[in-house]
Copies of this chain bind each other. A is one copy, B any other.
Amino acid sequence: MELDFEGVAQRVSTGLLPGWDAVEEHVAAAHSRNRSAGSGEVADYIPILAEADPELFGVCVAEVDGAVHSAGDADVEFSIQSISKAFVYALVCEEFGHEVVRDRVGVNNTGLAFNSVVALELNEGHPMNPMVNAGAIATTALMPGRTADDRWAAVITGLSRFAGRPLELDDVVYRSETATNHRNRAIAGLLESYGRIDVDPLEIVDVYTRQCALLVTARDLAVMGATLADGGVNPVTGEQVVSAEVCRDTLAVMASTGLYERSGEWLFEIGLPGKSGVAGGIVTIAPGKAGIGVFSPRLDSAGNSVRGQRATAYLSRALGLNVF
């Protein structure tokens, strides 16, 4: 991670955010300080993502009291991609509870890449955690429903409740990914061969692919994150989406495994649970305080948004969010 903290003192973390004006100002600064950070490349592993405008950059903070602060392209839509893993995980925890999900999906870091099959074989097919692809597919396979359509309906409904508005599928991204997701189909096949999923592997990869193609904005991510920060209550709509315990479980897993084999590095630099997606979004949660949503398509070599990481790191320091 290439970060920039020049002149940014680490604010001491307390139970409270600084006042409305200070947050507003820091969100603007997080955007303006980093908007010309030019390094990184737009993802090209899925053809359609390569067409994104590399200069887009949005920053948003949603406080648990419902205040929303944004700067730049915070209302531009992009596909949620892997960020969806964290929220579908929360929905499954709500359904099955702490123990069942811990045992079936796992909570430990593999130390390996997000799409590795080595970890699967070494652990007799156990998916290990919900943030690697194997675990994310196993998690989506636990979503309630008799059919693939039922599961998809549960995913889109659940994620929309986190965002506080009806999310929609980007059909072009969905079809582009469907044409190229051989690896995920193979991973699902392995899960089936180890008896780790009870549903058809091709059907569940299809639901998972749709889940990744849902359109969100930086503002949506901030609100979704704020819902996890707020004990499961969406601070904009007031709806209780998941329980407080599910939030704790989800945040703990994001802290351990949210950035794959670089999760330790993220916690070392930012000190908060987060999850990134290959379209350039990152969600970060300051428990009890706020959610942060950022979006910018240029990615570093690990697949994380360059400007997004810089803006998040700035906000963690300037707003005193680091939990350690």
A interface with B by C-beta (< 8 Å):
10, 13-16, 102, 106-112, 116-122, 128-129, 182-183, 185-190, 192-193, 201, 244-245, 247-249, 251-253, 255-257, 261-265, 267-268, 271, 273, 287-288, 322-324
Determine whether the beta carbon of B267 is less than 8 Å from that of A263. no
- What is the predominant secondary structure among interface residues of chain A facing chain B? helix
Determine whether the beta carbon of B323 is less than 8 Å from that of A108. no
Among candidates B106, B120, B247, B255, residue contacting A255 with C-beta atoms closer than 8 Å: B255
Measured CA separation A252–B107 after assembly (Å): 17
Most chain B CB within a 10 A radius of its CB, from A108, A110, A257: A108
- In the assembled complex, how far is the CB of residue A37 from the closest CB belonging to chain B, in whole angstroms? 19
Among candidates B15, B16, B107, B265, residue contacting A264 with C-beta atoms closer than 8 Å: B107
- Chosen A-B contacts, 25 in total, with CB atoms closer than 8 Å, are A10-B248, A13-B288, A15-B16, A102-B265, A102-B268, A106-B264, A108-B263, A108-B264, A108-B265, A109-B261, A109-B263, A110-B111, A111-B111, A118-B118, A118-B121, A182-B201, A183-B189, A186-B186, A253-B268, A255-B256, A256-B263, A256-B268, A257-B264, A287-B324, A323-B323
Top 6 A-B pairs, shortest CB-CB distance: A111-B111, A186-B189, A182-B193, A15-B15, A251-B324, A256-B264
Measured CA separation A248–B193 after assembly (Å): 36
- Chain B residues, Cβ within 8 Å of A193: 182-183, 185-186
Among candidates B106, B109, B186, B251, residue contacting A109 with C-beta atoms closer than 8 Å: B109
- Chain B residues, Cβ within 8 Å of A183: 189-190, 193
- Chain B residues, Cβ within 8 Å of A244: 10
- Chain B residues, Cβ within 8 Å of A110: 111
- Chain B residues, Cβ within 8 Å of A322: 248
- In the assembled complex, how far is the CB of residue A311 from the closest CB belonging to chain B, in whole angstroms? 19
Measured CA separation A188–B192 after assembly (Å): 14
A273 to chain B: closest residue by CB: B324
Measured CA separation A118–B255 after assembly (Å): 25
Measured CA separation A190–B193 after assembly (Å): 14
- Chain B residues, Cβ within 8 Å of A257: 264
- Chain B residues, Cβ within 8 Å of A111: 108-112, 119, 128
Determine whether the beta carbon of B252 is less than 8 Å from that of A268. yes
Measured CA separation A119–B106 after assembly (Å): 21
